Structure 1
Amino acid sequence: MKRSFWVLHAVVLAFVFSNQSVLRAQEPAPAPEKGSVIFIHPDGAGVSAWAAARLLTVGPDGILNWDRLDHMGLYRGHMKNSMGATSHGGGTSHAFGVKVHWDSYGMDGTEPLTSLSGKPHSILVEAQEAGFATALVNTGHLAEPGTGVFAASAPARSAVDEITKQIIEGGTDIILSGGEILLLPQGVQGKFFFPGIRRDSLNLIERAEELGYAVVYSRDELMALPPDTEKVLGVFAAAHTFSDRSEEVLQERELSLYAHWAPSVAEMTEAALGFLKASGRPFLLVVEEEGSDNFANQNNALGSLTALARADEAFGVALDFVEANPETLLITTADSDAGGLEVYPIRDADPLVAEKPLPVTTRNGGALDGRNGTGTPPFMSKPDQFGETWPFGIAWASFDDNLGGMVAKAHGLNAHLLPKNVDNTDIYRMMYATLFGVWFR
């Protein structure tokens, strides 16, 4: 009898707790808080790239601004038909929240695309329709997909005439980038001494002015704008604001890494946030440092690490803004590991090593860079906690965008929602949850 009682008791308790678990599982999760979103995409920057940037800028024990973001998850960047992302395919997944063909620019290959929310356009367009202020910032040209796919859709990445037309006419409030030649008709001379390449005879600079944009061409002109300017088009270079060539080519042509007159990504981010804040509306700001990808695709270590240092300054600007405006989510990731950059440690503290050229390759034949390219002395870290500086090189796996070690990070409003394992479509989920208060499972 006692045995039967205890069996029955156990069954009842199991039933009660089981039903309580079911009830708890069915209870709706608290709705995300609504606010503004800053998405920063340091293109091509895997974890190893950030490790190298840390050594060079703050030392092995130092803290980057990127390190300060509170929440982190491992990023999975595979596409619908490829284990590795492209910039345009990965950007499309961020902007639409769905897996797509790797060769997609705001579409699924050449097919129209429906976003995770059910809308036939990106999260930026949906935000515009809902009354949000919007901004795009890119150190590359206007059609670079890390930002471009948020405002344009085309059957091919090469369709730059159509892409730039959509971006200019799409209603984004603040647009800051390079790419003047993409905005001018063939034969029309630009501010940066190169003629336009448009084949449709449209002058999109003039069109932007007709639409009410204040058009600026330099850091000084951008900074001189009234803080309450509502629509800004910054055009800061003929193509990119940087020269994405190898160290050797840049030295031969006496070219700098970045155009001295163009605002940095941090300066563009700060300006955009000022204009967006002045609008009095919640906003979506999408920022891309393109140099971290393009320099890595050229296996230019100095260019890559310079680009990442500049991107880290933009994180500092964004973190300061979130601190002052806590109703803002800051989220970041990279959709690929450009070049397969790895730190090549040199285990010798002899000061003479710092001036000795590195081997041209590693033992397995991988390309190896020093501070000024192939066959040059190593980089030197900033001091560690013991005051020591250390030499290191940069080894490369390829010239391509690789599926490497990428992470997503978040800070501020709703940052706790970032999963530990982050699919590329989760970037959209995080942004949508903050803009619209809805989390898509």
Structure 2
Amino acid sequence: MNLTKTLTWAISALVVLPLVASANIDIHDAPSRPKNMIIMVGDGMGPAYTSAYRYYQNNPDTEEIEQTVFDRLLVGMASTYPARQSGFVTDSAASATALATGVKSYNGAISVDINKRPLTSIMQMAKARGMAIGIAVTSQVNHATPAAFLAHNESRRNYDEIAQSYLTSEADVILGGGQKYFPAPLLAQFKAKGYQHIDDFSMLAQINKGKVLGLFADVQLPWVIDQQDSTQLSQLTQKALDLLSQNEQGFVLLVEGSLIDWAGHNNDIATAMGEMHGFANAIEVVEQFVRANPDTLMVVTADHNTGGLSIGANGEYAWDTNLLQGIQASPAKIAEQAIAQDNWQAAVNQALGFEANEAELIRLSNARMQGKAALETSLKQLIDTRSYTGWTTTGHTGGDVQVFAAGPAADLFKGNQDNTDIAEKMMSLLPKTQ
């Protein structure tokens, strides 16, 4: 950590005023230093995603374009590049390491430096101060972003090692997917350490206190668009807040909308908008918590941009949100069902919410003969063409990402900064050690 920058921000944090306008907090009630801190990461959520979500959510019956939670809370931007040995385009591990520790590292690093030595994370610092810590994510809980906050490993791909290391993370709340990485012997070890293990959303209501390991899917949680339910992450977030806020010393919580990135890698605009909606709902849950608890700071950002999404494509000055809103399932699910059905054309048209023309049906039929993956790709291309959606890559891009904040010291995150600055600023706001 850069000591000079940290001292500067620590001093600033003592006098900075909260971003009261966005959080509706009475200035006389809000402290200058937060008791609780929540960092929320929209994985892969570059600026085009938040703009697209605004238009996707827009009410077509009004003249104005309605604001979203992202518009309300926007305060700045952040650069995302990894350690220079990895170039200018980061992966989720290096970016999460920067957000968790304030140090640049190589792509693939899980809170270790370029020499593979462990780095101290904000979660470790919080725990040393008697605070509670936790994560709530839509990917497997041992995926790159949550792992960088709770573990240290030379490679993000060492999923089994990372899951095992969570035993010593001292996390109070671990919620998300990833059942396949937590076999019975490992679960027994977690239970021996006092964790309550649950594997169904209906069991969340039974957990009212104590430590919890909640694993609700084999790997990722279901796509929002397939569930037609945007509350999965909101439910996990609310439960994490309920449990962690019982700690009188405060807490640090990571919430990740993990699957925005996965949809971006797939160049799947319909599924991406569903995941954006789920993440936006979770942000609003935290926003309400900040309003009720003016000693809580919320910082929202992305780790990088995925897919090079463009709103408008092929020379057309248009983007068809009505078409996108009519899609009833992910292209993956539509393709799976079409492969299994004889009368697949009608089923596809129904799921898409529009009628494919003769030429489009021929392309889909040819793809269907090649299998599910080819049909899924063809469906995504059809949706992109019809909606005027563009993509430049199936990987990440190196553009800056947005920063959103509310609560005490939110002003610290205004303007342009690096992702390491976000970590250092939040670390500077932790209580002083005894």
TM-score w.r.t. structure 2 length? Answer: 0.74
Q: Distance in 1 between matches of 2:108 and 2:319?
A: 47
List aligned pairs for 1:361-400, cutoff 5 A.
373-376=380-383, 392-400=387-395
Pick the aligned partner of 2:250 from 274, 282, 303.
Answer: 282
- In the other structure, the counterpart of 1:434 is 429
Where 2:108 maps in the other structure, the secondary structure is coil
Q: 2:215 aligned with 1:235, yes or no? A: yes
**Aligned-pair distance for 1:411?**
0.9
- In the other structure, the counterpart of 1:87 is 92
Q: 2:125 aligned with 1:138, yes or no? A: no
Change (3 A) 1:63 1:437: farther
List aligned pairs for 1:101-140, cutoff 5 A.
101-114=106-119, 121-140=120-139
Is the 2:267–2:307 contact (alpha carbons within 8 Å) kept by the matching residues of 1? yes
**Aligned-pair distance for 1:433?**
2.7
Segment of structure 1 superposing worse, 324-333 or 142-151: 142-151
Q: 2:320 aligned with 1:340, yes or no? A: no
**Aligned-pair distance for 1:279?**
2.9
Is the 1:242–1:291 contact (alpha carbons within 8 Å) kept by the matching residues of 2? no
Output the amino acid matched with 2:393. S
- In the other structure, the counterpart of 2:401 is 406
Change (3 A) 1:324 1:158: same
Change (3 A) 1:261 1:296: closer
Q: Deviations over 1:179-207 (max 9, x none)?
A: 0110116xxxxxxxxxxxxxxxxx22111
Where 1:373 maps in the other structure, the secondary structure is helix
Is the 1:241–1:259 contact (alpha carbons within 8 Å) kept by the matching residues of 2? no
Q: 2:42 aligned with 1:42, yes or no? A: yes
Q: Distance in 2 between matches of 1:259 and 1:371?
A: 22
Where 2:388 maps in the other structure, the secondary structure is strand
Q: Distance in 2 between matches of 1:397 and 1:349?
A: 17
TM-score w.r.t. structure 1 length? Answer: 0.73
Is the 1:95–1:150 contact (alpha carbons within 8 Å) kept by the matching residues of 2? yes
Output the amino acid matched with 2:217. A
Where 2:94 maps in the other structure, the secondary structure is helix
**Aligned-pair distance for 1:223?**
2.2
**Aligned-pair distance for 1:261?**
9.8
**Aligned-pair distance for 1:37?**
0.5
Q: Distance in 1 between matches of 2:39 and 2:412?
A: 15
- In the other structure, the counterpart of 2:292 is 324
- In the other structure, the counterpart of 1:74 is 77
Where 1:139 maps in the other structure, the secondary structure is strand
Change (3 A) 1:136 1:352: closer
Change (3 A) 1:54 1:183: same
Identify, as 1 or 2, the structure richer in helix. Answer: 2
Q: Deviations over 1:280-309 (max 9, x none)?
A: 331000011111001110111111111001
**Aligned-pair distance for 1:239?**
0.7
Is the 2:231–2:281 contact (alpha carbons within 8 Å) kept by the matching residues of 1? no
Is the 1:297–1:339 contact (alpha carbons within 8 Å) kept by the matching residues of 2? yes
Q: 2:192 aligned with 1:210, yes or no? A: yes
**Aligned-pair distance for 1:351?**
13
Q: Which has the higher contact order (CA 8 A, sep 6+)?
A: 2
- In the other structure, the counterpart of 1:270 is 238
Gaps of 5+ in 2: 1-7, 15-31, 325-353, 361-375
Q: Distance in 2 between matches of 1:277 and 1:209?
A: 22
Change (3 A) 1:350 1:411: closer
Change (3 A) 1:232 1:318: same
Q: Deviations over 1:339-365 (max 9, x none)?
A: 0111117657999999576999xxxxx
List aligned pairs for 1:179-194, cutoff 5 A.
179-184=178-183
Change (3 A) 1:326 1:370: farther
Q: Distance in 1 between matches of 2:249 and 2:214?
A: 21
**Aligned-pair distance for 1:422?**
1.5
Q: Distance in 2 between matches of 1:272 and 1:46?
A: 26
Q: Deviations over 1:391-425 (max 9, x none)?
A: x4321110001112411111111001114111010
**Aligned-pair distance for 1:378?**
7.2
- Return the index of the structure with the highest Cα Rg: 1
Is the 1:241–1:262 contact (alpha carbons within 8 Å) kept by the matching residues of 2? no
Output the amino acid matched with 1:86. D
Change (3 A) 1:306 1:371: farther
Where 1:413 maps in the other structure, the secondary structure is coil
**Aligned-pair distance for 1:241?**
0.8
Q: Distance in 2 between matches of 1:80 and 1:323?
A: 37
- % identical equivalent positions: 24
**Aligned-pair distance for 1:164?**
0.8
Where 1:161 maps in the other structure, the secondary structure is helix
Change (3 A) 1:301 1:350: closer
Where 2:45 maps in the other structure, the secondary structure is coil
Where 1:92 maps in the other structure, the secondary structure is helix
Q: 2:274 aligned with 1:306, yes or no? A: yes
CA RMSD of aligned residues (A): 3.1
Q: Distance in 1 between matches of 2:52 and 2:410?
A: 26
Q: Deviations over 1:196-239 (max 9, x none)?
A: xxxxxxx221111111111111111112323xx11111110011
- In the other structure, the counterpart of 1:52 is 52
**Aligned-pair distance for 1:326?**
0.7
Question: What is the number of equivalent residue pairs in this alignment?
Answer: 354
Q: Distance in 2 between matches of 1:351 and 1:37?
A: 35
